[in-house]
């Protein structure tokens, strides 16, 4: 394996372009160092460590988070600005993993159960991709295409994500369910933002479809309602559960996952209403 630790972005982009799919970018390494145990090492590894891509910047109300910003940093520094994302970040693995796992890696890994990626989807974040050809922006929905599959071209890196400022009155809710209390890969994960009166609902569901998804039908229905009554909440959660396409795998059955989506969405909205 050839290891490169480019000192400048230009150098990194050239290496990425040269190696293409024969190289893997390395940020925190918490996914890569596990995947190589079964998949073997790629021909080259490109470390993003020295590119200055870690950091959080406010830009005209939006928040730009560098791709190599760790989950710990996000959990710590964005608690008031982006509470939903900070909450999700605090649930990634245990502290040792959070201290290394990055938001760029979480996105690029393309896991349907990715907690931070789900929140970015809910918040309509934009993913910045760079290559020698220039840069482009995609929504999270455009970026994550399928299980472990993204729109990242072989010559591209994720450089940052930009999150628009959430509505000042919106409430955030994040919940994940697994086999025990803490430190697990989500069997179901729900992330949501909603106004105090149940308006402007944004609802994200993870681990229940090939990618993290927005429950658009549920959101549309919520938008059509004036009040967050019990019946409204029931219908929103029912629609959300219907919009999943969960599979049966050794972690959980699809039926269980759908059921938990309903429960978590209901809890979210009832808490907001209280």
Partner 1 sequence: MIDRRFSCVGQPTPRFDAADKVSGRSQFLADLRFPGMWEAAVVAPSIAHGRVVSLTVPSVRDCEGVILTARDVPGVNQVGIAQRDQELLVTGVVRSAGDRLAIVAAPTRSAAKALAHKVSVRLESLPVVEDVEAALSPEAVAIHPGGNVCAELRVTRGDVAAVMGHADIVIERVYRTGYQEHAYLEPQGAVAVPDGDSRMTVYSTCQCPFYIRRAVADALGCPQNRVRVIQTCTGGGFGGKEDYPSEVAACAALLSRAARRPVRLVFDRHEDFRWSTKRHRTVITHRLAADSRGRMLAMQVDAVYDAGAYAGLSVIVAERGNSSACGPYDLSAVDVRTRVVYTNSLFGGAFRGFGAPQVTFATERQVDELARRVGMDPARVREINLWKKGSVTAAGEVLTGPVPARATLRRALSLSGYNGRATQRSGQRWRGTGIATSYYGNNLHKGGERLDRSHARVTINADGSISVWVGLTEMGQGLLTAVAVMVAEELGAQLDRVLVSHVDTDAVQDSGPTVASRGTIMSGMAVRRAAATLRRRMLRVARSRFCGKDLRICDGYLVGRRGGEALLAWDDLVALCHANRIEMTATGFYYPPARAYDPATGQGQPYATNSYTAHVAEVEVDTGTGLVRVLRVTAVHDVGRVIVPEGVRGQIEGGVVQGAGLALWEELKTHEGVLLNPGFTDYAIPGIADAPEVVWNVIERPWGGGPFGAKGIGEPSLISVPASIANAVSDALGVPVDDIPLTPERVMALVSREGAPRA
Partner 2 sequence: MSATLPLSMTVNGSPVSVDVAPTARLLDVLRDTLGLTGTKEGCGEGECGACTVLMDGIAVDSCLVLALEAQGTAITTVEGLADGDLHPIQQAFINAGGVQCGFCTPGFVMSTYALLQATASPSDEDITRALEGNLCRCTGYHSIIRAVRLAVRLMQEAKP
* Contacting residues toward partner 1, per CB under 8 A: 177-185, 250-253, 256, 259-260, 263-264, 266-267
Binding partner selected for residue 185 from partner 1, partner 2, none, CB under the kind-specific 5 to 8 Å limit: partner 1
Listed in order, strand segments (DSSP E) in 93-244 are: 126-131, 134-139, 144-146, 149-150, 157-163, 171-177, 188-194, 202-206, 213-214
CB of 218 to partner 1, least distance (A): 18
- The residue among 56 and 140 lying less far from partner 2, judged by its C-beta, is 56
65 neighbors 155 (Cβ within 8 angstroms): no
65 neighbors 89 (Cβ within 8 angstroms): no
For 62, phi and psi rounded to 5 degrees? Answer: -85, 165
CB of 105 to partner 2, least distance (A): 11
Binding partner selected for residue 15 from partner 2, partner 1, none, CB under the kind-specific 5 to 8 Å limit: none
- The residue among 7 and 165 lying less far from partner 2, judged by its C-beta, is 7
User: What is the DSSP code (8-state) at residue 80?
Assistant: T
CB of 180 to partner 2, least distance (A): 10
Binding partner selected for residue 99 from partner 1, partner 2, none, CB under the kind-specific 5 to 8 Å limit: partner 2
Residues near partner 2 (CB under 8 A): 1-3, 5, 26, 28-30, 33-34, 36-37, 41, 45, 47, 49, 72, 93-97, 99-100, 182-183
3-state secondary structure 135-165: EEEEEHHHHEEECCEECCCCCCEEEEEEECC
Binding partner selected for residue 263 from partner 1, partner 2, none, CB under the kind-specific 5 to 8 Å limit: partner 1
């Amino acid at each position: 394996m050839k290891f490169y630790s480019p000192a400048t972005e230009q150098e990194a982009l050239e290496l990425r372009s040269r190696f293409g799919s024969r190289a893997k970018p390395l940020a925190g390494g918490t996914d890569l160092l596990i995947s190589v145990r079964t998949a073997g090492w790629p021909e080259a590894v490109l470390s993003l460590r020295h590119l200055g891509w870690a950091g959080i910047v406010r830009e005209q109300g939006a928040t730009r988070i560098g791709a190599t910003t760790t989950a710990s940093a996000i959990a710590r520094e964005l608690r008031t600005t982006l509470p939903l994302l900070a909450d999700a970040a605090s649930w990634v693995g245990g502290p040792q993993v959070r201290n290394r796992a990055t938001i760029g890696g979480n996105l690029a890994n393309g896991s349907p159960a990715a907690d931070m990626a789900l929140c970015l989807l809910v918040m309509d974040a934009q993913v910045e991709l760079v290559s020698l050809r220039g840069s482009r922006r995609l929504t999270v929905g455009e970026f994550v295409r399928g299980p472990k599959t993204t729109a990242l071209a072989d010559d591209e890196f994720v450089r940052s994500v930009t999150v628009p400022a959430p509505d000042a009155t919106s409430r955030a809710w994040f919940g994940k369910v697994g086999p025990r209390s803490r430190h697990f890969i989500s069997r179901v994960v729900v992330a949501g933002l909603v106004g105090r009166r149940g308006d402007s609902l944004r609802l994200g569901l993870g681990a229940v479809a090939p990618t993290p998804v927005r429950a658009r039908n549920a959101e549309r229905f919520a938008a059509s309602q004036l009040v967050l009554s019990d019946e409204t909440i029931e219908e929103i959660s029912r629609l959300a559960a219907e919009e999943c396409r969960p599979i049966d795998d050794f972690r959980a059955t699809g039926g269980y996952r759908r059921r938990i989506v309903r429960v978590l969405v209901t809890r979210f909205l009832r808490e907001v209403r209280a």
